[in-house]
Amino acid sequence: MTNMSSRRLLLILGILWMGTARASSTEAISVSGGVVDYTVFQYTIGNQFTTLQNIAVTDIGVFSISGLAQSYEVGLWDSFGNLLATATVDSTLDVNQFEYVSITPVSLAAGESFCVGELINSTAQWLAFSAITPAPGLVFDYGLYDRTATPSLTDPTTSTVGLGGSVGPSFKFTSVPEPRTFGSLFLSLFAMTKFARKLRVQP
């Protein structure tokens, strides 16, 4: 197989996986209970998670309790404080559901900790003291907030251990196939290519 053919097959594999990722994304958490909370300040709240498997974050968003009065910024950070992705969730009248924005998928390895945060202000509402159940493949570690109350989207590094998480920011993700899965797909496509080529050259 030529280098060009190999590159084409890898491109096809990537396109197929990206399409599957979008179609099968899983919500990171389910929620029960909690009380409506609010603030008069502007700062970032969030939650920290740890992966149990390789994943790709495909969407980030916020929880709408009684609608979103305005747009809100959301961010995704790794354990070193590097900003991996941002998005702005538009205002909505939808209630009691998460509102997501698609992002370029961010790959996170198994055993990696990261956080998702939302810049809140006096118009924001979120659920505090909620029971958060993570999806399979994730561990919910604890809630976070920006203790310095920086009025811009900031990695929230102060934990709220024992107080539960903040049901404001969240995300959707998909499992990343193991390398051997990609290898199997590559071999299958290679075999199909050779078979199609033979059909073309037959008299």
Residue 182 lies in a domain: no
Question: What's the pLDDT tens digit per position in 84-108?
Answer: 999 999 999 999 999 999 999 999 9
Provide CB contacts within 8 A for 7, sequence distance 6+. none
Pairing of strands 26-27, 165-167: unpaired
Average pLDDT of the chain is 83
Q: Is residue 18 part of a domain?
A: no
Q: Express as a percent the part of the chain with pLDDT over 90.
A: 61
Q: How many domains does the chain have?
A: 1
- CATH, residue 83: 2.60.120.820
Query: pLDDT by residue (tens digit) across 108-130?
Result: 999 999 999 999 999 999 888 88
Give domain status of residue 184, yes or no. Answer: no
Cα(88)–Cα(153) distance, integer angstroms = 11
The reply to whether 159 falls in a domain is yes
Residue at 201 is within a domain = no
Domain assignment present for residue 94? The answer is: yes
Report yes or no on 16 lying in a domain: no
Q: What are phi and psi of 31, to 5 degrees?
A: -130, 145
Judge whether 198 lies within some domain: no
pLDDT tens column, 144-186: 999 999 999 999 999 987 666 788 999 999 998 765 544 455 4
Tens digit of each residue's pLDDT (9 = 90 or more) over 16-34:
545 555 558 999 999 988 8
pLDDT value for 179? 59
**Boundaries of domain holding 36:** 26-176
